Amino acid sequence: MPPRHTVKPNASAAPLSSLADAATPRSPTVPLDEVDRQILVLLSQDSRRSQRALARELGMSAPAVGERIGRLERLGVIRGYGVRLDWSAAGFPMTVYLIITAVQGYQQSAIVEKIANIPELEELNIVTGAIDILARFRVRDHAHLRQLIMEHIWKIEGVHRTETSLSILDIEAENLVAGLLSTPAAGPE
Amino acid sequence: MPPRHTVKPNASAAPLSSLADAATPRSPTVPLDEVDRQILVLLSQDSRRSQRALARELGMSAPAVGERIGRLERLGVIRGYGVRLDWSAAGFPMTVYLIITAVQGYQQSAIVEKIANIPELEELNIVTGAIDILARFRVRDHAHLRQLIMEHIWKIEGVHRTETSLSILDIEAENLVAGLLSTPAAGPE
DNA sequence: CTTGAAATAATGAATGA
DNA sequence: TCATTCATTATTTCAAG
């Protein structure tokens, strides 16, 4: 038996059967105390730190940390553990946003579902305002981008307009967890 | 001594001193073979799986897996290990995009640096095209959003126009790693 | 939540293909 | 050069208080 906590298995690489499979959940708020928040901050910085190391930093015992983590997993605050990749080193240096406007009255979910199954997709949002869909992709080069747009996006029915925005600078705020959970009007107890 | 790999410490919660501190690197491409890719896929699904478990799934020994992972960390393909949070459960159910256009000729980096230090920031991109900056934030509610815009964004000089887009549906493509690294014209060997 | 013990895992050295 | 086995050290987990 594996020694570590087993979280519910993550989304597989298989095509989505429905949007709900991939959509970020809108779960009920879980009360978090200061220790919970600190654990989340530390894990967000390096989720492979041992519970012992966490325990040392937090001034408590390892089993106590283990129980906290288990609780956060059970309650769904922790959805899983991932890797921060350097996509550039992995051979996909380009980040591109496709800003999509749908044809009026068209089923957006059909469009979204098709985009959601494109392997190059990193994130997709249906948004309010002038545009309808904001999708971020990872591609290898211009040829890859062209292939993505021509062979995938343009073949989706109901897409009214597509604007392509290349990312010139990408900043991932790794202080989000620390910044939001710690200081300012933090989560309800 | 800690038994797990120690990756270079991640970005702290301290304010950024320069953009380079947070910007996604444009590193040289690292050759990845099939085993490397599989390890990355498995780790992206659950980075806390033990090396033994990985070894079992890959049909090799644990030390071999450990060396592979160490190499990927040293070469910078693996930048770190993080947590997938349910921000809704953590009390921040709203995702909002701010689409920002800068004043002509204004120093974009000054704007970016100010935005980068807002705790609610999740990700920021300077992009080509009609807009200049695309920034995604996490907020608790409408009041929090208003406070964010009025007290932070509006006080930044050089911002020409800001459009606020609420995310109605957010899909994180967890199959990105599997999809991109495995099947289609994968990374150079 | 803490302590202590048992099961399990990670690391490094020696070894062999 | 690369992967395996073995021994050591560290960690997770369970039980009891």
Q: Is residue A150 part of a domain?
A: yes
pLDDT of residue B13: 38
Q: Same domain for A99 and A58?
A: no
Of B85, B129, B172, the CB nearest to A78: B85
CB interface of B with A, residues 72-111, below 8 Å: 75-93, 95, 97, 99
What's the domain range around A122?
94-166
Of A12, A131, A175, the CB nearest to B11: A175
pLDDT of residue B159: 94
Q: Same domain for B149 and B129?
A: yes
Query: Which residues, other chains included, contact B160 with Cβ-Cβ below 8 Å and sequence gap of 6+?
Result: B100, B101, B102, B103, B104
Q: Is residue B6 part of a domain?
A: no
User: For residue range A71-92, what is the model confidence (pLDDT) as tens digits?
Assistant: 999 999 999 999 999 999 999 9
Q: How far apart are CA A178 and CA A44, in angstroms?
A: 8
The one-letter amino acid code at B104 reads Q
Domain boundary among B54, B83, B112: B83
pLDDT of residue B189: 40
Question: Where residue B62 sits, what CATH number does that domain have?
Answer: 1.10.10.10
Q: Same domain for B55 and B119?
A: no
CB contact under 8 A, A97 and B125: yes
Q: Same domain for A74 and A120?
A: no
| B172 in contact with A, Cβ within 8 Å | yes
Q: Same domain for A123 and A156?
A: yes
Q: Pick from A50, A56, A85 the residue to mutate for testing the B interface (most B CBs within 10 Å).
A: A85
Q: How far apart are CA A127 and CA A133, in angstroms?
A: 6
The per-residue b/e assignment along B50-59, b for 16 or more CB within 10 angstroms, e otherwise, is ebebbbeebe
Mean pLDDT calculated for residue range B124-153: 96
User: For residue range B88-106, what is the model confidence (pLDDT) as tens digits?
Assistant: 999 999 999 999 999 988 7
Covered bases, chain C (protein CB within 7 Å): 1-4, 7-13
Q: How far apart are CA B154 and CA B4, in angstroms?
A: 45
Q: Same domain for B71 and B99?
A: no
| A1 in contact with B, Cβ within 8 Å | no
Q: How far apart are CA A26 and CA A28, in angstroms?
A: 7
Q: Which nucleotide is nearest, taking the CA of residue A5 and each C1'? A: D12
Q: Is residue B45 part of a domain?
A: yes
Question: Where residue B145 sits, what CATH number does that domain have?
Answer: 3.30.70.920
Q: Is residue A104 part of a domain?
A: yes
DSSP 3-state assignment of B100? strand
pLDDT of residue B105: 81
Q: Is the CB of B161 under 7 A from strand C?
A: no
Q: Is residue B148 part of a domain?
A: yes
Q: Same domain for B73 and B100?
A: no
What is the CB neighbour count within 10 angstroms for residue B94?
18
Residue B180's pLDDT band (boundaries 50, 70, 90)?
confident
Structure pTM? 0.87
User: For residue range A5-54, what is the model confidence (pLDDT) as tens digits?
Assistant: 444 433 333 455 567 767 776 789 999 999 999 999 999 999 999 999 99
Q: Same domain for A154 and A110?
A: yes
Q: Is the CB of B71 under 7 A from strand C?
A: no
Q: Is residue B180 part of a domain?
A: no
Q: Same domain for B125 and B148?
A: yes
Q: Same domain for B77 and B132?
A: no
Number of domains in chain B: 2
User: For residue range B17-75, what is the model confidence (pLDDT) as tens digits?
Assistant: 566 767 776 788 999 999 999 999 999 999 999 999 999 999 999 999 999 999 999 99
Q: Same domain for B152 and B106?
A: yes
